[in-house]
Amino acid sequence: MSECIVVTSGKGGVGKTTTSANLGVALAQKGNKVVVVDADIGLRNLDVILGLENRIVYDLVHVVEGECRLKQALIKDKRNPNLFLLPAAQTRDKNAINPEQMRELVAQLKEDHDFVIVDCPAGIEQGFRNSIAGADRAIVVTTPEVSAIRDADRIIGLVEAAELPEPRLVINRFRAKMVERGDMMNKDDIMEILAIPLVGIVPDHEEVIVSANKGTPAAYNEDSVVGEAYRRIARRLCGEPEVPYIALNKGGFWSNVKRMMGLSAGGAA
């Protein structure tokens, strides 16, 4: 049975597009047929993160307006034949499509794919309403910061008001060292506030920027800790039970001593 998952956050810049791309890759590597849909019309970026920007001929708005067939607009990933991108239009705006059209589009995509991942734009307006229109469930991405968590709380309320099932949380840019010294909220702090189930923690790592520079999501790199975090999220999304979290606090001598003494609040992804 195929499923449409919308990746949303409210606040911009917390890692929605990175998460969408990496989950697309990780789910496709597990043998699923996956399409990632860039719903950020006017500010497309998913094509760049996936390194597919030079292959775009048609986009989502062309499909909706009937200027091309859906298959013509889908771009096959150069590294994985199971992964496809439906790019957003760059020269139009959010009002170029409506939720009803999005629902139809997603229904069509679900016929041919196991997973449809929708990368939602920041904000709570038309772009958000379009993005959640065809979704079966939502992933809310946040970072361990006051502003991002506040917006995540708002988005969770809106997802629930739209009668989608309870969303699942991805905590991005997690810094174990800051958590250990009490300068960053840990997993339990965030979950206490947002009160939705966790689906993964992604460490803050330079790899993410290098991957974006190259247009190769970290999930393609077997040795990447960020890639591994996303691979584990993909396993959880596929219903694999009790996927362990990665130990993130490979700290120095004192953090190891603290951990042995059970004093450390450090994290795992």
Write out the residues near another protein by the rule CB under 8 A.
145-146, 149-150, 153-154, 178-186, 189, 193, 195, 254, 258, 261, 263-265
Nearer to another protein, 193 or 247 (CB): 193
Nearer to another protein, 107 or 195 (CB): 195
CB of 34 to another protein, least distance (A): 34
- Token readout for 52 is 């597919």
Q: What share of the chain is helix, strand, coil (3-state, %, to 5)?
A: 45, 15, 40
CB of 173 to another protein, least distance (A): 14
Nearer to another protein, 9 or 211 (CB): 9
Count of C-beta atoms within a 10 Å radius of residue 146 = 8
- HSE-up of residue 234 (Cα within 13 Å, Cβ side): 25
The CA-based angle 142-56-13, given to 5 degrees, is 15
Nearer to another protein, 49 or 169 (CB): 169
Phi and psi at 140, nearest 5°, equal -105, 125
CB of 154 to another protein, least distance (A): 7
CB of 262 to another protein, least distance (A): 10
| Inter-residue contact 116 to 237 (CB < 8 Å) | no
CB of 56 to another protein, least distance (A): 39
Instruction: Measure the CA–CA gap between 196 and 35, rounded to whole angstroms.
Output: 26
Nearer to another protein, 14 or 179 (CB): 179
* H helix or E strand, kind and range, residue 42: none
Distance set, CA 241 to CA 1, 208, 237, 238 (Å)? 18, 27, 10, 9
Nearer to another protein, 239 or 262 (CB): 262
